[in-house]
Amino acid sequence: MNVKNNTKLSGWHTAFAVYMQPRVLGMIALGFSAGLPYLLVFSTLSAWLRDEGIERSVIGFFSWVSVTYSVKVLWSPVVDKVRLSWLTRLLGQRRSWMLLAQLGIMGGLIGMASTNSHTHLPLIALCAMLVAFCSATQDVSIDAFRIESTQLNYQGAMAATYVLGYRLALLVAGAGSFYIAEFYSWSSAYYTMAMLMSIGVITTLCLPAPSAEKTINTASTRANVTFFSQLREAVIYPFTDFFSRHGALAWLILVLIAIYKMSDVTMGVMANPFYLDLGFNKKDIAEIGKLFGFFMTIAGAALGGVLVARYGVMRPLFFGAIATASTNLLFAAMATMPPSLTVLACVISADNLSGGFATAVFVAYLSGLTSSGHTATQYALFSSLMTFPAQLLGGFSGVIVDRFGYIDFFVYASLIGLPAIFLVAWLWRSEWRANQRTNNILGE
């Protein structure tokens, strides 16, 4: 295992103090920019289509638009190495790609808002694809920016503040969109979201480039390299570097990355249709499902950041896998009950608390697996693996619900989280054994 994952901060005071670092706080704005488009091509889009009377099976297939997030590794070497002429000279490698992606997101959202869902549904799908592609590209750049901005023992806190900004954006794109749609229209909601992407544009223009990026760019400028050596560095070296550092455990790590969030992502496709089919209106979903759940997600993320700083990453990672899988059973229980706002609040609280915790811990784990110079490509590989299998399964979620019902679907979503629990335990034990051998050698 990568010894970087063992980095810890001693003392609770020191662990909490990481949240006062300026670079840690700065991730709130970048998290907002990254989070705003996601729901607009995922669960909010599902609710819009369902509210317009689109069949659930079609909605399920629409979720495949978000597969774009899972294949961003295919163009991440371009984001890592290709310079955007004068824009890169002005803003640097990371920020130039962030700005280009943000402008593309704004254009795609305006296109969705301008299209009639009944007469031009394929056009909405194409615009959603544009938003998803640009959003995934923005994620690649922001992830590289975050990892290159500070050392590993702050990455848990960086992930937590990133989640805070991300969840603020989800609150706006979720609850905000529902409120606007309730009192005006879904088109008005998407126009508003397009304008709010200007927050990301302004933030990108104001941020300084990370020092690690400056060092890498300076070294690259001085080096006299051929096209083929640049190709090897951009596409091949990030993968060979990962396998050389992790050896026999590399494949198990990749499997864990592929299945860790499977239970949560698979369930998320049908969450909003489930609430609507139970009889809750859009206002209920906005106030409880989005607004109330937001605070529980932030609490979970903050707890995850503190525990990573205090104990390292593997122990919180294990408990996050258990919590993610088990909370889906609460949705199965809720499906057997009459609609109750109290039950809805309790279930969403537990789900978002565990989800925020698991996300912050998992992002810290993935960040520790990367190496300087290949940050964007390697992290894109990890985050692509994190969602791709789940999103493929999620495309069939509407078919499963139509055939077997919500109860069986949520039980199924919970069970597919079990392999992640066992695999984290295996890797945790392997890391412990490696540390014991290292300590014995040093002791001798």
Domain spans in the chain, listed from the N-terminal domain onward? 3-443
Q: What pLDDT score does 117 carry? A: 74
Backbone φ and ψ for 116, nearest 5 degrees, come out as: -80, 125
Q: What pLDDT score does 235 carry? A: 66
Q: What pLDDT score does 133 carry? A: 94
Q: What pLDDT score does 221 carry? A: 46
Q: What is the pLDDT of residues 335-370, one digit of tens each?
A: 988 888 888 888 888 888 998 899 888 888 888 887
Higher pLDDT, 32 or 398: 32
Question: How far is 304 from 320, CA to CA, in rounded Å?
Answer: 9
Task: Check the CA dihedral 387-389-392-393 and report its sign.
Answer: negative
pLDDT band at 193 (very low <50, low <70, confident <90, very high): very high
Q: What pLDDT score does 217 carry? A: 52
Q: Does the pLDDT at position 215 exceed 80?
A: no
Q: Does the pLDDT at position 253 exceed 60?
A: yes
* Portion of the chain with pLDDT greater than 90, in percent: 18
Q: Does the pLDDT at position 63 exceed 70?
A: yes
Average per-residue pLDDT for the chain: 80
Q: Does the pLDDT at position 10 exceed 70?
A: no
CB under 8 Å to 47, separation ≥6 — which residues? 178, 272, 273, 276, 282, 285
Q: What is the pLDDT of residues 80-118, one digit of tens each?
A: 888 888 898 888 888 899 999 999 999 999 999 998 877
Q: What pLDDT score does 218 carry? A: 46
Q: Which of 14-18, 97-101, 395-399 has the highest mean pLDDT?
A: 97-101
Q: What pLDDT score does 223 carry? A: 43
Q: What pLDDT score does 168 carry? A: 87
Helix 22-40, helix 198-206: angle, nearest 10: 150
Which range, of 115-124, 209-218, 264-273, averages the lowest pLDDT? 209-218
CB under 8 Å to 123, separation ≥6 — which residues? 111, 115
Q: Does the pLDDT at position 286 exceed 80?
A: no
Q: Give mean pLDDT, residues 280-291.
A: 75
Task: Check the CA dihedral 258-260-265-266 and report its sign.
Answer: positive
Task: Report DSSP letters for 103-122, one per residue.
Answer: HHHHHHHHHHHTS-TTT-HH
Q: Does the pLDDT at position 57 exceed 50?
A: yes
Q: What pLDDT score does 220 carry? A: 47
* Portion of the chain with pLDDT greater than 70, in percent: 84
Do the beta carbons of residue 381 and residue 366 sit within 8 Å?
no
Q: Does the pLDDT at position 222 exceed 50?
A: no
Q: Does the pLDDT at position 156 exceed 60?
A: yes
Fold of 3-443: Growth Hormone; Chain: A; (1.20.1250)
Do the beta carbons of residue 146 and residue 5 sit within 8 Å?
no
